[in-house]
Amino acid sequence: MTAPAWRRGVLFGALLVLGAGYIAAYALFVTHSENFIVVQRNRQATLFSQAHPLLPPATLTFGSSGHDNAYLGNGWIMLRDHHGMWMAANDALVMLATAPRNADRVLSLQTMVATTPQQPRNRVEVSVNGHVLGSWERGGPDGMTPIAVRVPGALVRTGMLRVKIHVDRLASLYRQDVGDSRDGQHVGITAISLDQVDSAPH
Amino acid sequence: MLQTVSARQHLREAFVPLAVMFLISRLVLLAIAATTMQLAGVHGEAASVAHVLCRWDCKWYLDIAANGYSPLETGGIPGESNFGFYPLFPLLLRLFMPFNGGDALHAGIFVSNLCFFGALFYVYLYVRELGLDRTVALLTAAILCVFPQSIVFSAPYTEGLCLLLLAAAMYHLRREHYLAAGVAAAMLSAARPNGVLFIVFAVVWIWQRDGLRALLMPWRAPEKFIPVVFAPLGAFLFFGYCLVATGDAFAHSSTQLIGWGWTFAPPWENVPQQLHSGGNFMLGALVSITVALCSLLLLQERLYAEFAFCIVTVVLIWCGQGLVSVFRYWLVLFPVWIGVARVFAARPLGAALLCGTLGMINGVLACAWALGMAISI
């Protein structure tokens, strides 16, 4: 037996409304969602940093033997039997509160860029508060060479430096313990220094 | 005629064998797990059957049932939070906790076993609905009981619930109980993210049964689309809850990405990678390929909708970063086991060998489960 036309019409309309509801809800979800773990990690790092502002020259050390992991926002992971902190995402954040002065600062990153013979170079980009301050090709012999960037006074004046380190290629660290990383591209960091321009090493 | 035999009659004829299979398989697995703990020198509460059944993800479900969702990274590994788990199973635990003295673990064991027992009946009915004989139906149920790692059907895990809801949704769709199928499908997507793949089954079923015109002109028989439209409802309700609770509707994906490292990668990259990884990953890949090959048996039976559902599920799992579970993912794909049962049903010796082999592997995995070895994740 076939249902009357009006009943089929009502049912079809109701299903259409539900389907449209999914699309509207999905649009709302996409536009209003931020990765909650990223948000809460960055918030925690920001709060810690604001409570412990840096007075240049200052050096922060990271990893199991470091003391300043709380300054790190999202994108880092500590690996067993490895020094420093390692990037777990292509973008990793460090939150540095400092005295709001209109003076340039030098930010030095003690990075470790591990590459493979197939992909011997990796690009590391550093930005502060959304401004890209430079990018470097690293890997192989200069994989451990520090990266130094000059942070303009206009950014220092805000009192909060949101340092983003971006790398082009990164192997998954998931299942690192079983030696199943995808291609061996890893980037780590052992320390960060914030110096006044005149006292910064060349 | 099979069609004239009511579901009630089918249930009556199958009750005793299914109950016996359920009881014996559960008792044997629990005995193996308990004995393993004794031999390992574990005594006291940690060696109790209830505690032996709580391994791996169990603690997450119990945590959600007892304390609700929390955005805190409480898993011991950075990024792991209980938002990595869908809500229906913990909700059911919460419902049954008052009957178990407020204990989530015992409620979980009760719910899982109840769901698995119910699922066996739905699977039986489903096989009979396909027009296959009683032997195939019972052998399918037997395979599910003895399949490696079927201990999770008795543990506080979602497998029993998902099997029940999937079999119910598929059965009711084939019986043209569209609303019941839709409700089961919606619940399925609230139990597990890949539950939404039921849509694939429903769409291909409509296509196979009524042709492409029925798909292109849904207003002619909209009731057939109730299960399709209802299927994502459970997942969307969870997304909405996540948005309110964390500001991230996709909190499940977020924590799975950061905590568990789940990212998508094409299967042609993932599967060879798995095969070269060795150990459990290689074994997981080999088992997944075997399951994919077994799903081809469904084509022989012209069960295109079942095949589409199974193969899409396999491909989805291949796209994940790591076949962490060697056997567990495949327990719920019961249509594959219908295809296998169809092949072996006419060969009693082969069927006995199949069940015996699977049962032995299952026994070994029950030991591994009790000892918390990674192969039983």
* CB-CB neighbors (< 8 A) of A77 in chain B: 78
Interface test with B, best of A1, A33, A74 (most B CBs within 10 A): A33
Structure tokens of B93?
């635990």
The answer to whether B210 faces chain A, any CB pair under 8 Å, is no
3-class secondary-structure state, position A61: strand
Is the backbone of residue A58 left (phi > 0), alpha (psi -120 to 50) or beta?
beta
Is there a domain that residue A140 lies in? yes
Structure tokens of A47?
């709060």
Is there a domain that residue A16 lies in? no
The answer to whether B217 faces chain A, any CB pair under 8 Å, is no
Is there a domain that residue A25 lies in? no
3-class secondary-structure state, position A111: strand
Local confidence band at A73 (pLDDT 50, 70, 90 cut-offs): very high
The pLDDT value given to residue A182:
46
Q: Which residue stretches of chain A are H helix?
A: 5-32, 36-51, 153-156
A14-43 mean pLDDT? 96
The pLDDT value given to residue A176:
47
Helix (H) or strand (E) holding B329: none
Q: Is residue B7 within 8 Å of residue B172, measured between CB atoms?
A: no
How many domains does chain A divide into?
Answer: 1
Q: Which residue type is seen at A77? A: I
pLDDT in tens, A137-146: 988 888 889 9
Dihedral sign (CA B84, B85, B91, B96): negative
CA distance B164 to B169: 8
A124-142 mean pLDDT? 92
Structure tokens of B259?
């905590």
The dihedral over CA atoms of B151, B199, B201, B318, expressed in degrees to the nearest 10, equals -60
In this structure, what are the phi and psi dihedrals at residue A137, rounded to the nearest 5 degrees? -95, 125
How many domains does chain B divide into?
Answer: 1
The answer to whether A8 faces chain B, any CB pair under 8 Å, is yes
Local confidence band at A183 (pLDDT 50, 70, 90 cut-offs): low
In chain A, what percentage of residues exceed pLDDT 90? 54
A29, A89, A175 member nearest B249 (Cβ):
A29
Q: Which residue type is seen at A196? A: Q
Range(s) of the domain holding residue B321: 2-376
ipTM: 0.89
A12, A25, A29 member nearest B250 (Cβ):
A29
A164-185 mean pLDDT? 64
The answer to whether A43 faces chain B, any CB pair under 8 Å, is no
For residue B71, whether the previous peptide bond is cis, meaning omega lies within 30 degrees of 0, is no
CA distance A193 to A147: 10
Q: What is the pLDDT along chain B (377 residues), one digit of tens a residue?
A: 344 567 788 888 899 999 999 999 999 999 999 999 999 988 888 888 899 999 989 999 999 999 999 998 887 777 889 999 999 999 999 999 999 888 999 999 999 999 999 999 999 999 999 999 999 999 999 999 999 999 999 999 999 999 999 999 999 999 999 999 999 999 999 999 999 999 999 999 999 999 999 999 999 999 999 999 999 999 999 999 999 999 999 999 999 888 887 778 889 988 888 888 778 888 889 999 999 999 999 999 999 999 999 999 999 999 886 667 878 889 999 999 999 999 999 999 999 999 999 999 999 999 999 998 888 87
Is there a domain that residue A132 lies in? yes
The pLDDT value given to residue B262:
79
Range(s) of the domain holding residue A79: 36-199
Give the position of tokens 């890997």: A139
Q: Give pTM, 2 decimals.
A: 0.88
| Contact yes or no for B250 and A77 at CB 8 A | no
Structure tokens of B215?
């798909």
CATH of the domain at A92: 2.60.120.260
DSSP chain A: -PPPHHHHHHHHHHHHHHHHHHHHHHHHHHHH---HHHHHHHHHHHHHHHHS-B-SSEEEE-STT-S-GGGB-SSEE--TT-SSEEESSSEEEEEEEB---SS-EEEEEEEEEE--SSS--EEEEEEETTEEEEEEEE-GGGTT--EEEEEPHHHHTTSEEEEEEEES-----TTGGGT--SS--EEEEEEEEEEEGGGS--
Q: How far is A166 from chain B (nearest CA, A)?
A: 17
The pLDDT value given to residue B281:
85
Is there a domain that residue A124 lies in? yes
| Contact yes or no for A12 and B321 at CB 8 A | no
| Contact yes or no for A29 and B261 at CB 8 A | no
The pLDDT value given to residue A177:
42
For residue A57, whether the previous peptide bond is cis, meaning omega lies within 30 degrees of 0, is yes
Radius of gyration of chain B, Cα coordinates, nearest whole angstrom: 20
Give the distance from CA B174 to its chain's centroid: 20
The pLDDT value given to residue B1:
39
pLDDT in tens, A28-39: 999 999 999 999
The pLDDT value given to residue A32:
95
Is there a domain that residue A130 lies in? yes
